[in-house]
Amino acid sequence: MAAKKKGGAKQGTGRSAEASKPRPAQRGEAERSLKPARGAAAQQATRHATDVQARNRKLDAVTVSAIEESASGVHEKILKKGKPDLAFPIRSLQNVSYSQQRGYFEIGRQKKTRTLTVNTVKSFAQTLRMMGLSKQLVRTNDFATKRDAYYQSKNWEEARFDEQAESDAVMDDIEALFSVRGVSREQLRFIPDEHGGAVAGNLIVLDPDRESGAVERIDCTRFGSGAYSIPSTVEHLSFETDAKFILAIETGGVFQRLQSHKFWQTANCILVSMAGVPTRATRRFIRKLSDECKLPVFAFVDCDPYGISNIYRTLKVGSGNAAHLSQFFCVPQARFLGVTPADIREYRLPTHPLLDVDIKRARDALKNDPFFKTHKPWQKAMNELLEMGVRAEQQALAKWGLNYVIDEYLPRKLANPAQFLP
């Protein structure tokens, strides 16, 4: 199909009207191996496409009505000559709660109210325009990053933003506002500027075309030494897999080793490269995949306060200043495979001394972080690390051979998932 043209002209056509339009033949489809699925698989794909469209239409309707309701409230108040206001949840660690049962950081009930006055007229207008942008994006089945939204505002005349920090804050507020009603930022069509991580393994990703709805079947066993790169938004994806677990890996180096040696085949799993603190798209992808396919998630990161309290904690329960996103983005079912402080001793790993910043981070986590305050085994592990005064990288296992991680470490660990840290 043609590339999507400017939004306005297609209002309301998006997914639904073009749903049954077949995907035109493309270069390469003459090749037998590249033909679209037929027979049973084709029927399944069509069914799936229909399901996804129905679900998306429903989500879009919920989103638009949530936006319209907020806007109507403001409008009616104005008609009654009152001072309209909007109440946004406060986004900070002070307004966050954590319960083991829920499994993620939840935003609390504290709110800040933005009332329309002479002083707030600009930010109030900006908030409404940003909500209007979201509605327009839903209608045209398009999306915007924070940066896109900032530059879009340059055409909003007096309501334009002078700094991206301002428009980012307004977008975050709107996300928080609607998150309370269960509407995610992806439903608002706001997407992260960053890409997702890389994926390889026993997984087929089903990705319906944004215009025709035709489903692309992406087989993550078939990327050779490469990998599947997670898109910025993953709401529309679904999955087929008989893998046993998801292995979320901190470094590109270890991911490449496991991928090149087809560890996903030996262990029947799905490998995800987080490349440091996982992006929102990566976290959401892991969460959706784990939820929908009932797969356990094991994290394999460096043994240092950063790997534990930033990478793993963020993956599992979310982060303090974006707790309104946790319900969608965190992976509460994640467990910590390693590298653990006990591994450093057991495998006699080469270490580096903890830096001041590491020590500070670990102490902060023990003192202030609701996640670590809840989990005794983590307090023990973190204190152990502080006592040892060292950290170890996951690649330190290479001391025993480049493929020791594949041949010894991971198989031993995976034989006892009950021993993983929470």
Per-residue mark of binding to a copy of itself, 108-147 (x: CB under 8 A):
----------------------------------xxxx-x
Shortest separation between residue 139's beta carbon and a copy of itself, angstroms: 13
Regarding 230 and contact with a copy of itself (CB under 8 A), the answer is yes
Cα 125 from Cα 137, distance rounded (Å): 18
Whether residue 187 contacts residue 60, with contact meaning beta carbons closer than 8 Å, is answered with yes
Shortest separation between residue 186's beta carbon and a copy of itself, angstroms: 12
Q: Which of 94, 101, 158, 224 binds a copy of itself (CB under 8 A)?
A: 224
Nearer to a copy of itself, 303 or 323 (CB): 303
Regarding 22 and contact with a copy of itself (CB under 8 A), the answer is no
Cis peptide upstream of residue 205 (ω within 30 degrees of 0): no
Please report which helix (H) or strand (E) contains residue 347, including its range: none
Q: Is 117 exposed, middle or buried (0-12, 13-18, 19+ CB in 10 A)?
A: exposed
Regarding 21 and contact with a copy of itself (CB under 8 A), the answer is no
Regarding 23 and contact with a copy of itself (CB under 8 A), the answer is no
Segment 373 to 402, residues that bind a copy of itself, using CB under 8 A:
393, 395-402
Q: Is 28 left (phi over 0), alpha (psi -120 to 50) or beta?
A: left
Regarding 28 and contact with a copy of itself (CB under 8 A), the answer is yes
Regarding 256 and contact with a copy of itself (CB under 8 A), the answer is yes
Candidate list 104, 151, 228, 409, residue with the active-site label: 151
Cα 107 from Cα 93, distance rounded (Å): 9
What number of chain residues touch a copy of itself (CB under 8 A)? Answer: 91
Cα 27 from Cα 112, distance rounded (Å): 54
Segment 146 to 165, residues that bind a copy of itself, using CB under 8 A:
147-148, 151-152, 154-155
Regarding 51 and contact with a copy of itself (CB under 8 A), the answer is no
Residue burial 229-259, b: 16+ Cβ < 10 Å; e: rest: ebebbbbbbbbebebebbbbbbbbebbbbbb
Query: Could you list the active site residues?
Result: 151
